[in-house]
Amino acid sequence: MLAKRIIPCLDVRDGKVVKGVNFQGIKEVGDPVACAYEYNKQGADEIVFYDITASHEGRGVMLDVVRETAKKVFVPLTVGGGITTVDDIRETLRAGADKVSVNSQAVKNPQLIKDGADIFGSQCICVGIDAKKIADKKWTVFINGGRIDMQIDLIDWVKKIEQLGAGEICLNSIDTDGVRGGFDLEMLKSVVDAVKIPVIASGGAGKLEHFAEAFLKTDCSAALAASLFHFKELTVGEVKDDCRSKGILIR
């Protein structure tokens, strides 16, 4: 049977892993290739690099990071951030990524999802979404790191991206992100029920039990976290052991 995935995410700026606190006081926490290698050893099922570099030069550095990682880490690698064109997707995949994650750009230009899926296959197009609750069982899609409300209904959006050929959704809740009180189970459940493609839970993991909780209470396929793993509060191995002990199928 298919195992649930635990995915550590590395935020990378100018080739260094960073962790931002509300976009201020960004701390450098290390070399992304070394971090990815360490996560791989801990049993990570996939590794996500999220490029928060704005500059064009930064992109080249990011691709070098992917290239180096792909030489010694043999689990799937996803790269998100700054991907705006089909050429960006091609370059990123050629550097050794298995998937790209598109977020704001997909909202501004949904055709990017379709073009990417048609050329490279749905399996490598993950659509990242930042969403926030606006009313009971109603959420809207935000872009630019959660700053701009696009006033697009979340459920309409996920159905649309599935139709366009997205292979996976990485769903981040603005309401729970950084709060560390657990994943946004209500939103997660609504999205999982609306589509047939796999959904990754993101935003809100603050302790060990939160991962198992997401798998036991929703049919999400994977759970992602960044700072918990960065700051070594938890290892991927500990999270997997906890899930396993609760009867969840884990590699």
Partner 1 sequence: MIAIIDYGAGNIFSVKNALDFLGVENKLTKDKEEIINADGIILPGVGAYPWAMKMLNESGLVDTIKEQSHKKPFLGICLGMQLLFEKGFEFEECDGLGLIKGEVRYMDEPDLIIPHMGWNELEFNMECPLTQGLSDNTYVYFVHSYKAVCDSENVVAYSTYGGKVPALVSDGKTVFGAQFHPEKSGDAGLTILKNFAQLCKEGK
| Cβ atoms within 10 Å of 184's Cβ, excluding its own | 28
Report in angstroms how near the CB of residue 102 gets to partner 1 at its nearest.
Answer: 17
What tokens does 192 get? 């999982």
C-alpha of 5 from chain center: 12
Catalytic site residue from 130, 175, 177, 184:
130
Which of 42, 109 has the CB closer to partner 1? 42
Q: Would you list the DSSP string of 176-228? A: TTTT-S---HHHHHHHHHH-SS-EEEES---STHHHHHHHHHS--SEEEESHH
224 binds partner 1 (CB under 8 A): no
146 binds partner 1 (CB under 8 A): no
194 binds partner 1 (CB under 8 A): no
CA distance 15 to 26: 14
For residues 222 and 4, the answer to whether their CB atoms sit within 8 Å is: yes
**Residue keyed to tokens 């080249």:** 60
Report in angstroms how near the CB of residue 168 gets to partner 1 at its nearest.
Answer: 6
Is 11 designated active site? yes
Give the one residue of 36, 83, 187, 222 binding partner 1; rule: CB under 8 A: 222
121 binds partner 1 (CB under 8 A): yes
Which of 15, 96 has the CB closer to partner 1? 96
Report in angstroms how near the CB of residue 1 gets to partner 1 at its nearest.
Answer: 5
For residues 21 and 231, the answer to whether their CB atoms sit within 8 Å is: no
**What residue type is assigned to position 148 of the chain?**
I
What tokens does 238 get? 């500990």
Of residues 59 through 118, those in contact with partner 1 by CB under 8 A are 70-72, 74-76, 93-94, 96-98
40 binds partner 1 (CB under 8 A): yes
- What is the contact surface with partner 1 in residues (CB under 8 A)? 1-5, 40, 45, 70-72, 74-76, 93-94, 96-98, 120-124, 167-168, 196-198, 219, 221-222, 251
Active-site residue list = 11, 130
